[in-house]
Chain A
Amino acid sequence: MDQYASVILAFPDGQDLSDVEYHRAARQHVQKIEKLVKDAADFGSQAAQLLEHIDPAVNSISYLAVLGGILQRERAPQTNITLLTSITRFLMTFDARQIRYAGTAFSNLLGFVGEGSLLPASVAVDLLATAILRIDPTGSMLTSHHLPLVRLALLTDSIEPALPVIEKDIVFFPGVRGSGDSRHLCDLQLSPSEYITPESGLTGKLKSSVVLQYDLLVAKCFIKRRAWQQAFDALERVISYPIKDQACSKIMTEAYNKWVLVGLLLNGKAPTLPTSVAASTRKAYSILGKPYTSIAEAFDLKTAEALKGEFESLGPQFWAEEGNLGLMNYVLAHYQRWMIVNLQKTYTKISLDHVRRLTQSAETGKELGTEAELLALLEDMTSGGMLNGRVEPAVGEKPAHLVFLAPAEELSEAGFATQMLQTAQRIKELGPIVKATNERLATTREYVRFLAREQKGGSKSIADFVGFDTQVEDEDLMTGIMTGH
């Protein structure tokens, strides 16, 4: 027991170490503790007791190693309450700096949790999300743990705890080669892309399909929560995914279908493809997404019958097989709401009877039967914030009518300035990311080769590398780089 403790508590030793010293000490400690856990004969009997003596927040590497050892030996971990509590405690409090040196073991632990059988789903999701954000507080790096997290969240319908992770904008991806950085993993100034690497073990390597799936599942989560704008953004990330050689994935076409429907729900009209979508991809979408574009066209035509007809010509069976029946029903239900919202472009006040005659429900293809139904619908819309108006009851000669209120008063100069400042601030916050990206790209093999050729005086290479300086203003900066023109 004591011989264990001497090793386990050896790091960190409480001294204030420089980065270089810390780096060396951590490396050594990891080797020692791994050897200890693997070779010690009576480890199994001692482990549980050991855990009680280690503070996961202080001796994180040791705690993790012991946990790993127990998990390997334990046959039925899900019944071992002490073990589960320890895992939970560890994931909530570990020292992120130390864990950079024990990436593989950490990833294994997250893998266990991510399977979903160990802990109740909502707890597992919460733990995963917390752990991911503890490792990378900016949340700007996609790791191999993101996909299990969002999959688990979606399957078990515990999306809420995953939100802090899936709401983050992701700009870094593992797998950049050639970044031969001399700085140490423990350097707290490092950008997440520099310590979360397959080499450090904190993430595995990713394939493009994983990135696509991640965003699609994120979108599904937001669809479940009816957060249309966020779902729309996530889907847009999938459909505008950079491609080479006219490729198009099934995930992208599926995302396109959902993107059309979510766009209808969000804006009440068919969305337009972002400019970054390649021509070949557009073509694939227009062919494979035909039923959905037809729906969007029918929606824009402003007749409920056309929309209903378009829906029924393929039948609920089709939409169910596509996995979009729920969304589709939502689109049908929302159609009349959008018609009513659009009425305010034409009217300031309008009688309820008039509204009833002017708008049709796409679910039945007819007008609403009674004024009471309409009233209920309007009530729902105003309380949901979709409609800015109120219903006036009938007085004297005037029939009951709907009053559209003026859109929100224009902002005061101060309010406007605050909003602008906030946006400017957010853009400024991108600075470190830009810096990190710049450094990352500057160390890629292609760029180094380019520089070398530049110095030799060769000028022909410029065409191979779309100049970062010359074409920064160009709208299609990225497509140029990606397709390598």
Chain B
Amino acid sequence: MADPLLAFFTLMDGQGGTVVKEAPKFDLDLYIQNYRGRTRFDRLFLVGRSSVPLCIDALKAAIAEAKRGRDPQRYREAVDCLRIAAPNEPEAQFDYAWLDGVEASNRNETHRLTAELKGYKNNLIKESVRMGNEDLGKHLESIGDLNGAAEAYSRMRPDVSTPKHIVDVGKHLVRVALQRREWSMVNAHLAKMGGIQGQDDEKVLQPYLAITQGIAYLGQEQYLEAASSFLAADSGIPSTTYNEIASANDVAVYGGLLALASMERKALQSSVLDNSTFRTLLELEPHIRRAVTQFVNGRYSACIATLEAHKADYMLDIYLQKHISAIYSKIRSKCIVQYLIPFSCVTLDTMNAAFGHPDQPTAIEDELVAMIRGGSLKARINTIDRLVTTVSADPRGSLQASALKTAQNYEKQAIDRLRRMGLAAADLELKGQKKTGQHALGAGNELMYDESILA
């Protein structure tokens, strides 16, 4: 069993995928129960391809999930993976009968819906055209033709007549765009949904909008905006309104982690810990809450340790996976910066004890160097006496320097302008030649230029 697994993950690694060796803390079945819709397969498949301990279970679950749907392509992908990872499992064999059946019925259904839609169009009944497009879109989405689905859904837009329709179109398009990882499209679709009137609808819709917006920002690496979006999600609305995208637990994790990575200490206290709407969500993920509290209280190494303990979980999340190392390193840099603020000088050994790995005594030094070079840390290192000295701001000195510089610049600019006025007055500007009258360059003597103009 071990060898095919090893081969599989070597392959995944080679394809640029993420491989997580540690066992995550969640239970796969309970985890997947939080979701509905196509995201279930996507999540299972991702866990299967990334997590070593859960690989086979997750892939099997993914195959079962695929067979419940009508998307033959997903089934093939999942089975292909399982065949490499565990060739002896019964699920590793293609169910050709099922595949053929599904493909044939998909074709028929597509045909039928397209024909129906054509009929509606001929009858010019707006509502029917809209519904026809919606049905076609849903069908195409379920068989995995996301491109076609997006087209069908956007064809619904001219025929909408009520606010609810607009919301429906928007949700469909956002869902498809999320699956296709088109983050800016998500933003565009959300913007169109934003201005909808109607009190009750808006409240129910609020967490959905906030969460999808957050995920879109996350995908575009705009962490602060993403954090603000997640933190604004209303916890009073049941997660069923958005669980085809993410679960309530996810929201707590996304919001907490991103806030840690992007917000200042005061902002963390006020908008995460003291935020009554978000607190309910945060209670679902107590360790995130603990990490934030530890950061705010200045216990940085404890905060990092808490986060490290749950890293495997986050590495297996469909939206976080790509960003988790960037987020973690941001949190870490912030911890180091915050740690150094009260001191003017810290020994490297103390820093190492607080943040380093016991087996790599010089790692912290390299990290500090990288942070100083990147501009996130204002300090200098003394490698001989093993000290980190923070650079104190010198407002008087910098003011003096900038005043002198301004004065000198003024002088330089004044001269430059006088010179330009002089040139203009003497009619000496370089003029473009309309004709191609290029003269030959002075032969041999590089100092002899002629008016060779490169227009």
**Footprint of B on A, CB under 8 Å?**
151, 154-155, 169-177, 193, 206-209, 211-213, 217, 237, 240-253, 276, 284, 288, 323, 344-351, 354, 398-399, 401, 410-411, 416, 419-420, 423-424, 426-427, 430, 433-434, 437, 440-441, 444, 477-478, 481-482
Question: Which candidate, B113-121, B253-261, B263-271, B377-385, is the interface stretch facing chain A?
Answer: B377-385
Q: Determine the residue in chain B with the shortest Cβ distance to A171.
A: B418
Q: B388 to nearest A CB, angstroms?
A: 9
With a cutoff of 8 Å between Cβ atoms, the chain A residues found around residue B455 in the complex are 246-248
13 A-B pairs with C-beta separation under 8 A = A169-B419, A171-B419, A171-B421, A208-B429, A237-B419, A246-B455, A250-B453, A347-B383, A401-B383, A411-B400, A423-B411, A426-B411, A437-B418
Q: A99 to nearest B CB, angstroms?
A: 22
With a cutoff of 8 Å between Cβ atoms, the chain B residues found around residue A427 in the complex are 407, 410-411, 414
Instruction: Please tell me if B276 contacts chain A, counting CB pairs below 8 Å.
Output: no
Q: B402 to nearest A CB, angstroms?
A: 12
A173-B403 in contact (CB<8A): no
Instruction: Please tell me if B431 contacts chain A, counting CB pairs below 8 Å.
Output: yes
With a cutoff of 8 Å between Cβ atoms, the chain B residues found around residue A426 in the complex are 411
Instruction: Please tell me if B111 contacts chain A, counting CB pairs below 8 Å.
Output: no
Bound complex: CA A348 to CA B391 (Å): 11
B384-A351 in contact (CB<8A): yes
B428-A208 in contact (CB<8A): yes
Q: Decide yes or no: A345 and B418 within 8 Å by CB, A206-B428, A426-B411 being known contacts.
A: no
Q: Which of A249, A347, A423 interacts with B408 by CB under 8 Å?
A: A423
A430-B432 in contact (CB<8A): no
Q: Determine the residue in chain B with the shortest Cβ distance to A253.
A: B454
Question: Which candidate, B12-20, B164-172, B190-198, B444-452, is the interface stretch facing chain A?
Answer: B444-452
B422-A172 in contact (CB<8A): yes
Bound complex: CA A482 to CA B428 (Å): 10
B404-A249 in contact (CB<8A): no
Q: Decide yes or no: A430 and B418 within 8 Å by CB, A209-B450, A253-B454, A410-B397 being known contacts.
A: yes
B421-A441 in contact (CB<8A): yes
Instruction: Please tell me if B25 contacts chain A, counting CB pairs below 8 Å.
Output: no
Q: Which of A211, A346, A430 interacts with B423 by CB under 8 Å?
A: A211
Q: Decide yes or no: A207 and B424 within 8 Å by CB, A243-B429, A244-B430, A346-B381 being known contacts.
A: no
B400-A348 in contact (CB<8A): no
Q: A246, A252, A348, A437: which has the most chain B beta carbons within 10 Å?
A: A348
Bound complex: CA A207 to CA B418 (Å): 18
B425-A440 in contact (CB<8A): yes
- Contacts A173-B426, A209-B451, A430-B414 known; 18 new A-B pairs at CB < 8 A: A171-B421, A173-B422, A173-B425, A211-B423, A242-B420, A242-B424, A242-B430, A245-B431, A248-B455, A249-B454, A253-B454, A346-B381, A350-B382, A351-B384, A416-B403, A419-B404, A433-B418, A437-B422
B449-A348 in contact (CB<8A): no
A206-B426 in contact (CB<8A): yes
With a cutoff of 8 Å between Cβ atoms, the chain B residues found around residue A244 in the complex are 429-432
Q: Decide yes or no: A348 and B418 within 8 Å by CB, A176-B426, A481-B424 being known contacts.
A: no
Q: Determine the residue in chain B with the shortest Cβ distance to A423.
A: B407
A207-B429 in contact (CB<8A): no
A211-B428 in contact (CB<8A): yes
Bound complex: CA A375 to CA B190 (Å): 62
Instruction: Please tell me if B396 contacts chain A, counting CB pairs below 8 Å.
Output: yes
Q: Which of A170, A245, A349, A434 interacts with B383 by CB under 8 Å?
A: A349
Bound complex: CA A347 to CA B414 (Å): 39
Bound complex: CA A243 to CA B420 (Å): 10
Q: Which of A323, A347, A410, A434 interacts with B381 by CB under 8 Å?
A: A347
Bound complex: CA A345 to CA B391 (Å): 10
A482-B424 in contact (CB<8A): yes
Q: Determine the residue in chain A with the shortest Cβ distance to B383.
A: A350
**Footprint of A on B, CB under 8 Å?**
369, 372-373, 380-385, 387, 389, 394, 396-397, 400, 403-404, 407-408, 410-411, 414-433, 446-447, 449-455
Q: B381, B411, B418, B431: which has the most chain A beta carbons within 10 Å?
A: B418
Q: Determine the residue in chain B with the shortest Cβ distance to A404.
A: B380
Q: B449 to nearest A CB, angstroms?
A: 6
Q: Determine the residue in chain A with the shortest Cβ distance to B368.
A: A346
B389-A345 in contact (CB<8A): no
Q: Which of A213, A246, A346, A349 interacts with B385 by CB under 8 Å?
A: A349
B454-A248 in contact (CB<8A): yes
A208-B430 in contact (CB<8A): yes
Q: Decide yes or no: A175 and B382 within 8 Å by CB, A251-B449, A424-B407 being known contacts.
A: no
B419-A247 in contact (CB<8A): no
B397-A247 in contact (CB<8A): no
With a cutoff of 8 Å between Cβ atoms, the chain A residues found around residue B447 in the complex are 151, 154-155, 213, 217
Bound complex: CA A420 to CA B428 (Å): 35
Q: A203 to nearest B CB, angstroms?
A: 11
A169-B422 in contact (CB<8A): no
With a cutoff of 8 Å between Cβ atoms, the chain A residues found around residue B397 in the complex are 410
Q: A44 to nearest B CB, angstroms?
A: 36
Q: Decide yes or no: A420 and B425 within 8 Å by CB, A246-B455, A349-B384 being known contacts.
A: no
Q: Which of A207, A246, A345, A430 interacts with B451 by CB under 8 Å?
A: A207
B383-A410 in contact (CB<8A): no
Q: A354 to nearest B CB, angstroms?
A: 6
Bound complex: CA A467 to CA B432 (Å): 26
Q: Which of A344, A416, A430 interacts with B400 by CB under 8 Å?
A: A416
B383-A482 in contact (CB<8A): no
B381-A249 in contact (CB<8A): no
A444-B425 in contact (CB<8A): yes
Bound complex: CA A237 to CA B430 (Å): 13
Q: Decide yes or no: A247 and B380 within 8 Å by CB, A169-B419, A437-B422, A478-B421 being known contacts.
A: no
Q: Decide yes or no: A441 and B384 within 8 Å by CB, A151-B447, A217-B447, A249-B454 being known contacts.
A: no
Q: Which of A208, A212, A284 interacts with B454 by CB under 8 Å?
A: A284
Q: A378 to nearest B CB, angstroms?
A: 15
With a cutoff of 8 Å between Cβ atoms, the chain A residues found around residue B382 in the complex are 347-350
Q: Which of B403, B422, B450 interacts with A171 by CB under 8 Å?
A: B422
Bound complex: CA A124 to CA B403 (Å): 43
Q: B410 to nearest A CB, angstroms?
A: 7
With a cutoff of 8 Å between Cβ atoms, the chain B residues found around residue A433 in the complex are 418
B415-A430 in contact (CB<8A): yes
With a cutoff of 8 Å between Cβ atoms, the chain B residues found around residue A399 in the complex are 384
Bound complex: CA A416 to CA B396 (Å): 11
Q: A231 to nearest B CB, angstroms?
A: 15
Q: Decide yes or no: A249 and B383 within 8 Å by CB, A217-B447, A244-B432 being known contacts.
A: no
Q: B282 to nearest A CB, angstroms?
A: 39
A354-B383 in contact (CB<8A): yes
With a cutoff of 8 Å between Cβ atoms, the chain A residues found around residue B400 in the complex are 410-411, 416
Bound complex: CA A354 to CA B366 (Å): 12
A213-B449 in contact (CB<8A): yes
With a cutoff of 8 Å between Cβ atoms, the chain A residues found around residue B428 in the complex are 173, 175, 206-208, 211
Bound complex: CA A399 to CA B384 (Å): 8
Q: Determine the residue in chain A with the shortest Cβ distance to B406.
A: A423
Q: Determine the residue in chain A with the shortest Cβ distance to B438.
A: A250
With a cutoff of 8 Å between Cβ atoms, the chain A residues found around residue B380 in the complex are 344-348
Bound complex: CA A242 to CA B429 (Å): 5
With a cutoff of 8 Å between Cβ atoms, the chain B residues found around residue A434 in the complex are 418
A175-B427 in contact (CB<8A): yes
B431-A250 in contact (CB<8A): no
**Closest A-B pairs by Cβ, 9 of them:** A245-B432, A247-B432, A173-B426, A410-B397, A175-B426, A423-B407, A171-B418, A478-B420, A349-B384
A423-B454 in contact (CB<8A): no
Q: Decide yes or no: A173 and B423 within 8 Å by CB, A244-B431, A346-B380 being known contacts.
A: yes
A420-B407 in contact (CB<8A): yes
With a cutoff of 8 Å between Cβ atoms, the chain A residues found around residue B450 in the complex are 209
With a cutoff of 8 Å between Cβ atoms, the chain B residues found around residue A251 in the complex are 449
B420-A482 in contact (CB<8A): yes
With a cutoff of 8 Å between Cβ atoms, the chain B residues found around residue A437 in the complex are 418, 421-422, 425
A346-B373 in contact (CB<8A): yes
With a cutoff of 8 Å between Cβ atoms, the chain B residues found around residue A246 in the complex are 432, 455
Q: B63 to nearest A CB, angstroms?
A: 48
Q: B443 to nearest A CB, angstroms?
A: 15
